[in-house]
Amino acid sequence: MPLIFLNGSAMRGGPLNHLLDGAPFAGEVKTAPRYRFFSVGDRFPGLEPAADGGDSIAGELFDVPLDVLRSRLLPAEPPELELGAIELEDGRSVLSMVLRRPPTSYPELIDITTIGSWQKYRRRS
């Protein structure tokens, strides 16, 4: 089963965590310091690889069966995101939802890279 990095509503305690269908939690992690992080229309977070100016972003890893990823998690993702592969702080590569390029829509993007966590950002809002 592939590991997937989650940084939004599907994390533990989040309203979309049930979509993981009980997939095992594999730990709290951070990305390598090569990503920018956005609030997309103040609805959900978006991760984007950065050539420069990136930082480490906090999230959680889950060991998600491919059928759960295909039939439950991916269909619930907004069209502004797509499945990609990212690098973690420890050098491992894992799956993650990232901002779609080119974008399918142009919602307001608020750069929250320096905050580094969707939960911290939401508590500040």
CATH fold for the domain made of 3-124: Hypothetical upf0131 protein ytfp (3.10.490)
**pTM exceeding 0.85:** yes
In sequence order, what are the residues at sequence separation of 6 or more whose Cβ sits closer than 8 angstroms to the Cβ of residue 68? 19, 20, 21, 23
| Residues of the chain with confidence (pLDDT) below 70 | 125
For the chain, domain boundaries:
3-124
Q: What is the pLDDT of residue 125?
A: 64
Note the pLDDT of residue 84.
97
Residue 55: closest CA among 85, 35, 38: 35
